[in-house]
Amino acid sequence: MSVKQKISTKSLVCYFIIVVIFAITRMLSAFGVFDGLGHSFDYIFNVIIQVVILFGLSVLLFSVMTKNKPRDTFKFFGYKKISAKAVLISIGIGVIVYFLNVFVASFFNVLLALFGYSSSSSSITLSSYPFWLFLVNVLVSAVLPGICEETAHRGLLLKGLSGHGQKTALILSSLLFGLMHMNIDQFFYATLIGFLVGYLALICDSIYPAMIIHFMNNFLSTFAGYSSFNNLGFESIINGFNVVLQRSFILGFLLIAVFVAGLALLLKVLIKMLFKETTVKNMTNLQDRLIKQIQKENYLKELEKTAKNEEITEPNSISFEEFDKLYKQNNVELGLMSNLEKQTLNEPPVKTSLFAKFLLAGIFIITAGVTIFTFVWGVL
């Protein structure tokens, strides 16, 4: 079994364990086992799920199973720093994703309603919504999911399954991200967001843009709830479209279409900017370093020939194979690659083993089963 295949199988074992524990806790919560513990326990429960299950088990289980140090596991998962400009671009993308997400979620909610589905609303009614509670909700609903859920899906899954090809890893990690919410309300838009942030994690070779975008989407959603309760007006941006739709469906539809098209175009521009600020910038810096190294080696060869009174000739142009070899060598020397990435550097894509297929089937059966159950429960 190749190194890539071992990494893939071990990643699925880790994720299978996470899914089983996560599903059990969610089902116990759904059936009211924890109801008597009070509202504050909901926050503790969410923190445990995020920090211990999704983040902790992803890092610790993978590190133990691959006999890897946690520090190198983080690097393999894509914890590679980005510039301040890339952070700002990611924040902008996160804002756009939130607004697009609102329309996507609304569209799928309408489709679900056609089948007789109605979402179960929370029984918790707040008499007040102070700022400190808003900060707590930001921590639990935005900060922790942005870090922990991305570590499990864009780190463990996306990078762990990349040995089967980036396209396969992207599709599987996005679909499982949607299913892992184990809620039909969130499945569709979570899958789409998962695909986008997974794509960015791949082209940027860093998990941080995905984390920032995920955080911004959840933060704005949390702020919308806080704004609505305290009449701050943020939610009126979305409600304005509903008002126009009620007054004139055609005008409202055209307005929404123009708005969404504009956001999609701006999203495309920002993604290109992010790619240039991350991958292209890193490639340029690395190429400059290689060119200087090649020039230095050629200069030293000329000095050596001069000392030996040999005829100095024009330095030969370096071949693509030699350049590629030097490029990878410099990548390793600069610490841009984890140990696992170094081991799989020249390995071709691998096929899914029979055991890995069984693991994937089990994961899909559990996550899809609970998700379908939430749909049936909503219909009944």
pLDDT value for 283? 78
In whole angstroms, what separates CA 23 from the centre of its chain? 21
Q: What are phi and psi of 183, to 5 degrees?
A: -155, 120
Give per-residue pLDDT as tens, 178-219.
Answer: 999 999 999 999 999 999 999 999 999 899 999 999 999 999
C-alpha span between 243 and 260 (Å, rounded) = 17
Helical H runs in 115-207?
131-138, 144, 150, 158-160, 166-180, 184-204
Angle, helix 84-114 to helix 208-230, in steps of 10 degrees: 60
Structural domains counted in the chain: 1
pLDDT value for 285? 76
Q: What angle do CA 186, 187, 191 make, to 5 degrees?
A: 115
pLDDT value for 123? 52
Give per-residue pLDDT as tens, 158-176.
Answer: 999 999 999 999 999 999 9
Q: Domain range spanning residue 306?
A: 3-379
Dihedral sign computed on CA atoms, order 321, 160, 146, 220? positive
Lowest-confidence pick of 131-135, 317-321, 374-378: 317-321
Q: Collapsing DSSP states into helix, strand and coil, what is residue 158?
A: helix
Closest among 198, 148, 150 to 172, alpha carbons compared: 198
Higher pLDDT, 245 or 4: 4
Give per-residue pLDDT as tens, 75-85.
Answer: 999 999 999 99
Say whether pLDDT at 132 is over 70.
yes
DSSP track, 312-346: P-PPPPPPHHHHHHHHHHHHHHTT-S-HHHHHTTT
Higher pLDDT, 208 or 305: 208
Q: Judge whether 144 and 56 are in contact, CB under 8 Å.
A: no
Mean pLDDT score, 210-229 = 95
pLDDT value for 368? 95
77 contact partners, CB below 8 Å, separation of at least 6: 58, 59, 151, 154, 155, 156, 159, 207
